[in-house]
Amino acid sequence: MPPPTLVWMRDRGGRPALTEERIVRAATRIADAEGIDALSMRRVAAELGTGTTSLYRHIVGKDELIELMVDAVYGEDPLPEPGDGDWRGELADIARAFRRSLLAHPWLAQQASRRPALGPNVIARSDHTLSVAAKATPDATKAGMIVDVLNTYVLGSVSGELAEAEARRTTGMTEDQWRNSVGEYVAQVVESGRYPHFNRRVIEAGDPDAETRFEFGLFSLLAGLSDVL
């Protein structure tokens, strides 16, 4: 069975671009609010007040729709202007922008963890990030690994924030309410004295917010890259 033709390789001329854009925007609204599992061609058609068949004149199916959504998200913000050579600062800004996109579109993290999308906005943003990494090293392989490590860090860091948001949505409990609900058990663990380092974490350690934790990890990552390049 021949592989499917990528949407980016098909002749998309002659189709009303606004209609395709409206479909993608509607699908993105649904996925942002309800998750990617709630997305279907029928659901998007209902959102737009049209028949499902009319969507298939522009988009082959859900997989293609998601690829278009990913590319649209990557194109939401303009690419940064060329920097002054401070590759650490530029990579930090790229990481922060990626984090903002993932938090604004929670479904994106799962898609970004899969095989890379190949839309024009995705490729343009990847090319820009590689151009910044190239300032750190002339080795194309190492530059590619820098980008991979950066993306992996952002995805891993944001996964905790997304998990907390999902837990709040499904349980109706804030993080503080959850902590209160397990407080008695944690107190028993502390009183047992069996886990001294866990006790220190509970009793002595501060409780930095998500952004502070993200920035600490990002600083550590970039410092580490400086040491190995």
pLDDT at 22: 93
Q: Is 168 exposed, middle or buried (0-12, 13-18, 19+ CB in 10 A)?
A: middle
pLDDT band at 124; cut points 50, 70, 90: very high
User: Do 125 and 205 share a domain, yes or no?
Assistant: yes
pLDDT in tens, 21-70: 999 999 999 999 999 999 999 999 999 988 888 898 889 999 999 999 99
How many percent of the chain have pLDDT more than 70? 93
Output the pTM of the full model: 0.85
Tokens of 130: 């590689």
pLDDT at 2: 63
Dist CA 122 CA 120 (whole Å) = 5
pLDDT at 169: 77
User: Do 191 and 97 share a domain, yes or no?
Assistant: yes
In a domain, residue 81? The reply is no
Q: What is the number of domains present in the chain?
A: 2
Domain containing 177 equals 87-228
Dist CA 58 CA 15 (whole Å) = 7
pLDDT at 18: 43
User: Do 100 and 211 share a domain, yes or no?
Assistant: yes
In a domain, residue 82? The reply is no
In a domain, residue 80? The reply is no
Looking up tokens 């550590």 gives 220
pLDDT in tens, 137-171: 999 999 999 999 999 999 999 998 998 887 887 88
